[in-house]
Chain A
Amino acid sequence: MPKKRPAGSIRPRAFCNRIYWRALGAGAARTGAAEASRIRAAPAPEDDCMVKAYFRPKTAGEALELLSNEDGAVLLAGGTWLLTSQFAWCPMTAIAITDLLPKGIERHGDRIIIGAGATFQAIADSALLPAALREAALSMADRNIRNRATIGGNIGADKSCSSLLPFLLVAEARYSRAQAPALTAAEWQTASPAEKGLIAGIEFELPASRRFAVGRYSRTSCDVAVLTCAVSAELSDGSGASHGRPALRGLRIAMGGLSPHARRFPELESLFEGRPLADKAVIEAAAAPLFAPVDDVRGSAAFKRLRAAALLADVLFSLEASL
């Protein structure tokens, strides 16, 4: 029998590959027993051996209780990551929450609320959402996956190549959680697995004064992202402009592919805050030394450093054009 793994940790099969695996942040706290119908049976057929038990709780509370009590418990929404063969050798107890998660997308003035169960395709299709977020959703180019993958699941996976996290980070989104206070995206990332809980919704402000831009590099359209970038800044009031170029104020930069998780880069923000953009070459020369990517099958560290700097420069220029 496979060894019991630490709560909340999922390790994909290791044969022959250096695969990026991430602790599933969505829960490891253990409390009492659950009442939801419990399904256990003999080992599943060949391709499908990872889920050993399945629950479909009727309430969020029930889901959280199961998450706490069951060995190898994971919250299962779209399943486009957890159910892939990367995890074929890792026994899990699936707590299916698709029915529980809000899926709607709402806009109330400047406030955007997205249900954690909203799919990537729903986000891409929603006219209520900013173009940058829709573009980020569409950057997951495989429509079959977009039809199923959820924003909540993408947050929960917390992968470096996440399509949506960079945007959410620069939007300073807040995650409402079941039976727990909301956390900002950054707070949620740094929370322990036991503290992460069940995300119910994602909220952020979209004031008219703020602009966003996103970018991505991958080898082919349907490849996981090698690098992602999202930037945001305040609409220019003209102060600090130079040679017709606006100064960037309230600048926020988040990138993925350069660290174990997508993150904000305050060190980059301080480089460009309050100033007009220089030429792309200057931006790249300034940014590249701040990146520390790793070699992998998608590129060498040296290439990724150069490419990340170019991506950042391109996205900053896109942002500038909208200011």
Chain B
Amino acid sequence: MTTTFTLNGRPVALACEPGESLKTLLRRAGIVSLRNGCDGEGSCGLCALLLDGKLVNSCLILALEADGREVVTIDYYNKDATLRTIQRALIDTSCVQCGYCTPAVALSVRELLARSPEPSDAEVADALSGTLCRCTGYKQYFEAVRLAARRLSEPGYAPPLGPEFRPDLRHVGKDREKVDAETLSRGERAFVEDRVTGDACVLKVLGSPYAHAWIASIDTAEAEAMPGVVAVLTHKNTPERVYTTAGQGFPEPSPYDQRMFPRKMRHVGDRVAAVLAETPEIAAAALAAIKVTYEVLPPVLSIAQAKANEAPVIHSGEVSYVAGSPPVGTDTRGDGRDDPVVYQFPLHSDPHRNLAASASGGIGDMEAGFAAADIVIERSYKTNRVQCTPMEPHVVFAKIEAGRLVLHASTQVPWHVRRIVARAVGISENKVRVIKERVGGGFGAKQDIVVEDIAGYLAWTTRRPVYFRYTREEEFIASRTRHTMEIKVKLGARHDGKLTAILMNLDADTGPYGQHCLTVPMNAISKSLPLLLCDNARFEVKSYYTNLSPAGAYQGYGAPKGSFALQTALAEMACALGMDQLDFLEKNRVRSGSRIDILKSLGEGREGAAVTLGKCGLGDMMARGRQAFGWDQPKPPAPGSDWKIGCGAVIIQQGSGLPGLDAANAEVRLLSDGTLLMLSGGADLGTGLDTVTAKAAAENLGLDLTDVTVISGDTDITPFDKGAYASSGTYFSGNAALKAAEDLRRRVFEAAAPILGEAPEDLHIEYKGMVVGKKGKISLAELGHRSVQGEGHGELSGFGSFKTDHSAFPYGAHFVQVAVNERTGEVKVQRYHAYQDCGTPINPALATGQVYGAILKAIGHSLYEEMLYDGEGRCLNPRFLDYKIPTIAEVPPDFRVELMPVEDEIGPFGAKSVSEISVNGAAPAISIAIHDAVGAWVREWPFSPERVLHALGRL
């Protein structure tokens, strides 16, 4: 049948099915800007378009309903000056991060400005109420709308410049257009789903309905016989080798405990089978035709259950140790039925007791430390499972080209994908190419190899192109979540406020497989304990298998949990001492020149090293926050008699990559017209890493950003990079790019010197792209042209490699004010101020936006985000309808970020990491503020109204 309507100003008549949504129809017609984040639930707003001028979700409109109507998508920008103005405003205010939601945002603003040319903030929030964004924290959208509105009446309007840094540099420390912002704001093809060819087959996975079960029998004959079914995979016809899906450097500090298709199901959604078929409908029908019987086992659904004597054993296969050794008294023999577990890395594990990993360490004398204390407190904290919810779920497009496996991936770790997929498929790495496309949100979930292994295997074995995209439900139950943690903190302190001893005992729930089972819990310690100076400090970490959803990396890694426990405990100690919380922190925090001895015990799998801290801006940030936030001022009146106001503050830290472990590389080429091609291994997740590397090149060679094109994250074209995790992007990948640019500049001077008749050391670069000596000058264009001629010196290319043993710690101080309703338990975040050090902010507004985004994610897990399970291990809320993430309405009314640069001596242009750290502050700050308001400690996140009422003794 046909539906006829006006699409972006042109009449169209399109064939459609009765049940086809307008979204699906338009995407088929090539309008890829309509994105899918909720699988037609109508929750995410990413498929929004204007229907007769009204913003609506196109997934909730039948294509036939559009008949006779006017439809406008972002693609109309060519003809719509208002849309172009809005797009430019979004770009200029650094609102375009991953870009997955940007088209929807632009259309929302378009509708708003049509009816309200000078909208209030409340109107802006209402206009964007239906659009989910996980990257930006929404805050800068208000500024973008104001800018767009102003420019519509004053087309040449240039807003005042934001804060700038490093006046000695042209681009670094200044806001410049993100290199991919234009493409993303136009909704152009940029993501994996945009690369899928028309002949692609669709992969669907049959997930286990049980949390813990053997596959007793599986019959795929009927499915395999269906026309259009290309292949069916089960444990019977896939490799038996085990591997880890953790995207970490080899040897990975995660057990090899996963098989492509296991015989034992270890969580609801675990892989039973997969079907590759020519259409999604055939794949779905084939899945339904697979007959499976299960031998159901009792599930392990909590840390307590995992630890219990006689607990069901989740990994009962043979255990072997390439590195490390089994605990004394452990039986490593398998049951003869389950898949083996192999340790490439000493994890101090005992999988037959559900212990995936453990570690301990410390400094000083704990007994003496507690004995010296005037007050000792011991508290327990719990953090529940939350999900990253990138708006673009896990997705991959795999195909064979020239006899090689090519993966178009939405990944943070292209090289780890290559290595792990090659291993899983059983081929050498030179047969695999990974191309990282634009990523619609990563946040850690895409650090792991979640979909690429089976897609790659199927593409390799069938030689057909394979498209595999997770549903939102699969994203919840079968990608990666935060680890649940139960943390006991024991503190000793003297009456004068000096800490005498700190003990942290941490149990983590890693889920059914052990990816990140050591490193996340260790990170909870390593990014919280070193904030404090205490001669006696000890930690013990244990990570347990359970049959809940797989845990992995999520922004902040372990630090949000460790920070929550330790910072809240510190506040409880301050209360016990009768001290102001900030004064107590001030007395015990690290400062410039501090020697951080606890780091000796915090090396992962190897001896750590104490660090003498260079410049530390923590004191300045605390002082600034104290003054600007009004910490010592009387609290404002509460919004009603049921409400109480409270304030909390925390200090936080993160790292900047993994010193001694990670490495990054880059190459930059001078083209024959004097422009540059930057080949960066780094993985830009929307975070702006490509812009960082472009700036490194432009700054060094005296060019504009538009003179630099960045190609990144392609394992064939760009050199190795460890990937985007552990806050390494700017520090490692950016530094590699900087070294490459410096190397190119050196080579430029060497090539220019004989031409100019001068010594290389007498040459320098001037804007724009001019090599200048004492006697003459030559442009980079001229040099580039000459270099590739017959008499030239060969293409000029610089190469940079970066690794370091230096630890660069960004620090922060976060302040929050909440209102708590004593009758209902509701908590409102009224004010949130973040004072954040990232060294030199290379892209200030973008860095600020990432801080906002991280904080809002943390507010989400502090107040309402929680994955819930029933007694059989089934997730009860695996979709946006039931699992709520913050919308623009949840932005605190007073929400501020102030970057306070403290340059790092090694970081590129003095930079450190910026966005991951910001997710560490909200939970402890809010829990402290709740206590300040109503006198009750809520020691389990999220601090739902129900939990607050429990803490108040009302439930």
What is the interface of chain A, defined by CB distance below 8 A to chain B?
A: 15-18, 39-54, 56, 76, 78-80, 83-86, 88, 94, 96, 98, 121, 141-145, 147-148, 217, 219-224, 280, 284, 297-300, 302-303, 306-307, 310
Contacts and interface: CB of A to CB of B under 8 A. Distances in A.
Interface stretch (B59-67, B380-388, B414-422, B453-461): B59-67
Given A47-B36, A83-B60, A297-B877, A145 B21 contact: no
7 contacts: A41-B18, A48-B24, A53-B18, A76-B62, A94-B18, A96-B62, A219-B944
Given A52-B18, A148-B57, A17 B877 contact: yes
A43 B877 contact: no
B886 interface: yes
B17 A44 contact: yes
Nearest to A92: B19
A39 B64 contact: yes
Most buried by A among B48, B65, B473: B65
Interface stretch (B39-47, B152-160, B183-191, B734-742): B39-47
Interface stretch (B124-132, B621-629, B810-818, B895-903): B124-132
Interface stretch (B497-505, B605-613, B868-876): B868-876
Nearest to A42: B17
A144 B130 contact: yes
Contacts of B589: none
Contact of B21 (A39, A83, A144, A298): A83
B395 to A, nearest CB: 14
A54 B954 contact: no
Contact of B130 (A42, A145, A219, A302): A145
Contacts of A224: 881
A143 B40 contact: no
A297 B884 CA distance: 11
A102 B354 CA distance: 63
A80 B61 CA distance: 8
B470 to A, nearest CB: 13
Nearest to B867: A297
Contacts of B875: 16
Contact of B20 (A45, A53, A221, A300): A45
Contact of A16 (B24, B42, B874, B886): B874
Secondary structure class of chain A's binding surface, majority of residues? loop
B889 to A, nearest CB: 4
Given A51-B62, A84-B40, A145-B42, A220 B18 contact: no
* 9 cross-chain pairs, A with B, having the tightest CB-CB distances, nearest first: A144-B130, A44-B19, A51-B19, A221-B889, A54-B18, A44-B17, A85-B40, A46-B280, A142-B130
A284 B284 CA distance: 51
Contacts of A94: 18-19, 62
B268 interface: yes
A292 to B, nearest CB: 17
Interface in B284-309: 284
Interface of B: 1, 17-21, 23-24, 28, 36, 38-43, 45, 48, 54-57, 59-62, 64-65, 67, 108, 126-127, 129-131, 268, 280-281, 284, 473, 477, 823-824, 864, 868, 874-879, 881-882, 884, 886-887, 889-890, 944-946, 949, 954-955
Residue among A141, A221, A222, A302 with the most chain B CB within 10 A? A222
Given A220-B864, A220-B889, A303 B949 contact: yes
Contact of A52 (B19, B130, B877, B949): B19
B890 A41 contact: no
A235 to B, nearest CB: 25
B277 to A, nearest CB: 12
Contacts of A96: 62, 64-65
Contact of A54 (B62, B824, B874, B877): B62
Contacts of A78: 60
Contacts of B65: 79, 96, 98
A143 B60 contact: no
B139 to A, nearest CB: 16
Nearest to A281: B823
Given A96-B65, A220-B884, A222-B889, A88 B40 contact: yes
B57 A144 contact: yes
A110 B873 CA distance: 55
B886 A220 contact: yes
A220 B280 contact: no
Contacts of A46: 280-281, 284
Contacts of B877: 17, 297
A20 to B, nearest CB: 10
Contact of A221 (B129, B131, B876): B129
Contacts of A297: 868, 876-877, 882
A39 B15 CA distance: 12
A96 B64 CA distance: 10
A184 to B, nearest CB: 30
Contacts of B864: 219-220
Given A44-B18, A44-B20, 13 more contacts: A16-B477, A18-B876, A41-B17, A44-B24, A50-B19, A52-B19, A56-B67, A80-B42, A83-B59, A84-B881, A145-B42, A220-B884, A297-B877
A221 B890 contact: yes
A306 B881 contact: no
Q: Which of A42, A48, A54, A84 has the most CB of B within 10 A?
A: A48
Contacts of A16: 268, 473, 477, 874-876, 878
A220 B890 contact: yes
A20 B21 CA distance: 24
A83 B55 CA distance: 17
A80 B18 contact: no
B476 to A, nearest CB: 9
A43 B56 contact: no
Contacts of A85: 38-41
A209 to B, nearest CB: 28
A84 B17 contact: no
